[in-house]
Amino acid sequence: MRKDHTINVMNFRCPDCGQEFPAATRQWRCPCGGVLELSERSRFERDRIETKISTLWRYRAMLPPVKTENIVSLGEGWTPLVPAQAYGIEFLAKLEFLAPTGSFKDRGTTVLVSLLKELGVREVVEDSSGNAAASLAAYCARAQIQCRIFVPASASPAKLKQIRAYGAELIPVEGPRENASQAAQHAAQVSYYASHVYSPLILEGTKTIAYEIWEQLDGHAPDAMLFPTGHGTLLLGAYYGFRDLLEAQLIDRMPALYAVQSEACAPLYRIYIENLAELPDIPQGETVAEGIRIRRPVRWKAIMRAIRETGGRVVTVNESEILSAQRDLARQGLYVELTSAVAVAGLKALPHGGERLVVPLTGSGLKAPF
Ligand SMILES: *Cc1c(COP(=O)(O)O)cnc(C)c1O
Ligand SMILES: [Zn+2]
pLDDT tens, position by position, 201-226: 999 999 999 999 999 999 999 999 99
**Cα of 173 vs its chain's centroid, Å:** 24
Are both 153 and 274 inside the same structural domain? no
Residue 107 CA neighbour count, 13 Å, CB half: 33
**Does any ligand 1 atom lie closer than 6 A to the CB of residue 340?**
yes
**Ligand 2 centroid to 39 CA: how many Å?**
13
Domain membership flag for residue 58? no
Pairing of strands 20-22, 224-228: unpaired
Alpha-carbon gap, residue 341 to 84, rounded angstroms = 13
Atom of ligand 1 nearest to the CA of 367: 13
Average pLDDT over residues 30-55: 95
Answer with the one of 139, 174, 199 that is the final residue of a domain. 199
**Does any ligand 1 atom lie closer than 6 A to the CB of residue 237?**
no
Ligand found nearest the CA of 108: 1
**Does any ligand 1 atom lie closer than 6 A to the CB of residue 103?**
yes
Are both 243 and 318 inside the same structural domain? yes
Domain membership flag for residue 57? no
DSSP 365: T
Are both 167 and 220 inside the same structural domain? no
Answer with the one of 199, 223, 248 that is the final residue of a domain. 199
- Return the SS3 of 103: strand
| Segment of 10-19, 67-76, 127-136 carrying the highest mean pLDDT | 67-76
Domain membership flag for residue 49? no
Domain that holds residue 89: 81-103+201-367
**Ligand 1 centroid to 3 CA: how many Å?**
35
Total structural domains in the chain?
3
DSSP 26: -
Are both 191 and 259 inside the same structural domain? no
**Region of residue 222 (left: phi > 0; alpha: psi -120 to 50; beta: else):** beta
Domain membership flag for residue 54? no
In terms of Cα–Cα distance, which of 240, 250, 236, 253 is closest to 49?
Answer: 250
Say what the pTM is.
0.95
Are both 353 and 218 inside the same structural domain? yes
Domain membership flag for residue 193? yes
**Ligand 2 centroid to 25 CA: how many Å?**
14
CATH of the domain at 257: 3.40.50.1100
- Residues 159 and 367: beta-carbon distance below 8 Å: yes
Are both 263 and 299 inside the same structural domain? yes
Q: What is the per-residue pLDDT for 353?
A: 66
Domain membership flag for residue 76? no
What are the residues whose beta carbons fall under 8 Å from the beta carbon of 131, sequence distance 6 or more?
101, 102, 103, 105, 159, 291, 363, 367
Could you give the strand order of the β-sheet that contains 314-317, starting from the edge strand earlier in sequence?
81-86, 89-94, 357-360, 224-228, 256-262, 314-317
Q: What is the per-residue pLDDT for 2?
A: 42
305 pLDDT above the threshold of 80: yes
Answer with the one of 148, 172, 199 that is the final residue of a domain. 199
